[in-house]
Amino acid sequence: MAVEAALAGSPMKTTYIGAVQSGEHDGEQVTLKGWVKRSRGNNNLRFIVMRDSTGTIQCVVKRNIVGDEAFTALSEALIESSLELVGEVKVDERAQGGHEIGVVSAAVIGGVNPERPFPITESAMAAADGGETEFLLDHRHLYLRTSRMTTMLQIRSSVFGAIHGYFRDLDFVEYQAPNFVAGAVEGGSTLFEVPYFGKKAYLTQSWQLYAEAAMPALERLYTIAPSFRAEKSRTRRHLTEFWHAEMELAWANNDEIMSHGEGVVRRIAKTLLDERSDELASLDRDLDLVARYADNPYPRMRYDEAVETLQGMGVDVEWGQDLDYSKEKVLTADFDVPHFLTHYPKVAKPFYHRVDPDDDAYVLCHDLLAPEGYGEIIGGGERTWSEEEILARIDEENVPREPYQFYIDTRAYGGVPHGGFGLGVDRVVSWLSGADHIREVIPFPRDSRRVTP
Ligand code: ATP
Ligand code: MG
């Protein structure tokens, strides 16, 4: 009571629609705050479906109870007007969610100008057919309020939580690298150049190289941070700014790194089943598939075997090529769980991948490929860790030494075997939610054609 008294007159909110719909307030009088989702009625009676971040509920407004002034204001409130109302919670089997509000008093808090009604109409959404038209992308700031986007953002939040939980449970330290850098991690073709006080800098493509510098200090480290890549072609799996979960682990080999990749992805699937089953079901996602990804081990296959399999299927692929999406798609079509591909040819990978001491045509690396045609979600492996080998690899690849001097130094002072991986968080959200396009799962997607809104 003391708390309620203290809150009287404050805009702070104490009751959410989700709690009302789950039966926590049956028979009580509650104050609800939210937005108009739908409204219909006549001169004396209105049915307003109110939404907030936790759900929707039908509110029944009668002129003879709320009075003329409030009734008129509510009747004129357009879709997405914000409201505050006091009402009685009634259990009603016929109502959506099983509850209804008998409104006692109400006020419009933030109205909508009738000359500019909310543009994201049901017909605009139907035209997009679950995908995203330019119109919806142009109005992304408003589209975020629709149930599909809200659901995606809730699922996304649980994925971030699961990643933090996985690494923190294992005593990994969260560590931040700079976003302005001097050298490439993933090759020059996707580098974003930025003017930097008369010099050139780049936006980081990965946290990895700077994490390796802290590896001798922290041994177990991870991050979730944006990475930037100037991806020219627009695909369903590439953004120019994406969220990258990366880890680096001292004294670890390729197999151990893969076990962590498998561990974190299975933890994400398990967390979604625990926290977001209703949301996944509302997107028509098959929960049995998500459970399969949570419960089963992920097989490991060498690159050579993958290439032979593809060649056997009549796919035009040569040994030595990195497998692009067209190949991954064919290969993963029959997978029932994600699979690791290991031991890529040295010629297909950048200098920091450690050469296999058993056969120097290969590097000790891995990609994790998701099923259902989603393809690569993780890239990782062991790092070249001795000073002698890193210098040889840098020279062999014709990479300039100068921007990487700090990286070379980390090997000169007590190098140790280590490795890590990068996981594309948006790609994982897209796969586990069953989205058609990576754009659907990030609030403001960035690609080669769009930096607005
Ligand atoms: P791809 O061949 O699909 O472009 P990559 O080999 O360039 O991927 P890595 O450099 O290994 O990817 O990056 C690690 C992970 O980051 C990838 O497995 C993927 O999940 C994610 N990722 C990479 N580039 C992008 C991007 N442009 N947009 C979204 N996620 C990405
Ligand atoms: Mg790439």
- The CATH number that applies at residue 187 is 3.30.930.10
Q: Are residues 56 and 178 in the same domain?
A: no
Pick the atom of ligand 1 nearest to 229's CA.
27
Q: Is residue 132 part of a domain?
A: no
- Amino acid 3: pLDDT: 53
Task: Determine whether the shortest distance from the Cβ of 279 to ligand 1 is under 6 A.
Answer: no
Query: What is the predicted pLDDT for the residue at 11?
Result: 72
The DSSP bridge partners found for residue 245 are 224, 423
Residue 367 CA, closest ligand 1 atom number: 18
Kindly provide the b/e burial profile for residues 21-54, where b requires at least 16 CB atoms within 10 angstroms of the residue's own CB.
beeebeeeebebbbbbbebebeeeebebbbbbeb
- Is residue 231 within 6 Å of ligand 1 at its C-beta? yes
Q: Which residue has the tokens 């390729």?
A: 254
Together in a domain, 44 and 146? no
Domain membership of residue 254 (yes or no) is: yes
**242: Cβ below 6 Å to ligand 1?**
yes
How far is it, in rounded angstroms, from Cα 272 to Cα 434? 13
Residue 233 sits in the same domain as residue 364: yes
Shared domain check, 395 and 254: yes
Residues of the domain holding 259: 140-441
Cα–ligand 2 centroid distance for 231 (angstroms) = 8
Q: Is residue 135 part of a domain?
A: no
Q: Does ligand 1 lie within 6 Å of residue 241's CB atom?
A: no
What is the phi-psi region of residue 98: left when phi exceeds 0, alpha when psi lies from -120 to 50, beta otherwise? left
Q: How many domains does the chain have?
A: 2
With a threshold of 0.85, does the pTM exceed it? yes
- Could you tell me if residue 130 is inside a domain? no
Question: What's the gap in Å between 74 CA and the centre of ligand 2?
Answer: 52
Residues 212, 77, single domain; the answer is no
**Is the same domain home to 160 and 81?**
no
pLDDT of residue 369: 97
Say yes or no: 295 and 180 in one domain: yes
Q: Do residue 87 and residue 154 come from a single domain?
A: no
Does residue 296 sit in the same domain as residue 165?
A: yes
Q: CATH code at 99?
A: 2.40.50.140
Does one domain contain both 101 and 159? no
Query: Quick one: 106 and 224 in the same domain?
Result: no
Q: What pLDDT sits at residue 144? A: 96
Q: Please list the ranges in the chain whose pLDDT falls under 50.
A: 1, 7
Same domain for 405 and 263:
yes
**Intra-chain end-to-end CA distance of the chain, in Å:** 44
Q: What is the structure's pLDDT at 1?
A: 45
Domain contains 291: yes
CB of residue 378 inside a 6 A radius of ligand 1? yes
Buried b or exposed e, range 358-371, using 16+ CB within 10 angstroms: eeeebbbbbbbbbb
Mutation to probe ligand 1, out of 208, 227, 421, 429 (largest number of atoms < 8 A from CB): 227
Domain boundary among 93, 110, 127: 110
CA–CA gap between residue 208 and residue 435 (Å, rounded):
28
